[in-house]
């Protein structure tokens, strides 16, 4: 069992679920946690040489960008509607990241056979 991959997938799913929780309950702390966990996923993924590493890294960067902008918009300007919209973008990016992870896992399991 590859524990590095287990931790990465765990934190990726946690990041997606925290972003979805923010969509349900617009709380600044939840938004900060979602961004922090997403940044942790990014640091876990740096240096990994696999099939879709570049694409996954790019989707993580997009999600982090959306969450940082949503945090700034909510904290500085107090605009919860715009922060909500940016967090939807982060959810889409995280979901696409998990889709790429599933495709990568299927591809790697077929190459082992």
Give the tens place of pLDDT for each residue, 41-55: 999 998 888 888 899
**What DSSP designation does 25 have?**
S
- The count of structural domains within the chain is 1
76 versus 46: which is more confidently predicted? 76
- 19 pLDDT band, cuts 50/70/90, is very high
Average pLDDT for 21-29:
95
Distance CA 60, CA 34 (A): 12
CB 8 within 8 A of CB 41: yes
pLDDT given for residue 112 in this prediction:
76
Domain encompassing residue 12: 3-112
């Amino acid at each position: 069992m590859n524990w590095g991959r287990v931790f990465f997938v765990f934190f990726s799913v946690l990041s997606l679920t925290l972003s979805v929780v923010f969509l349900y309950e617009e709380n600044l702390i939840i938004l900060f946690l979602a961004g922090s966990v997403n940044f942790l996923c990014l640091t876990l993924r740096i240096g990994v040489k696999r099939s879709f590493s570049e694409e996954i890294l790019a989707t993580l960067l997009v999600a982090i960008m959306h969450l940082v902008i949503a945090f700034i918009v909510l904290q500085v300007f107090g605009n919860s509607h715009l922060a909500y919209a940016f967090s939807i973008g982060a959810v889409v990016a995280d979901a696409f990241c998990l889709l790429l992870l599933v495709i990568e896992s299927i591809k790697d399991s077929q190459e082992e056979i």
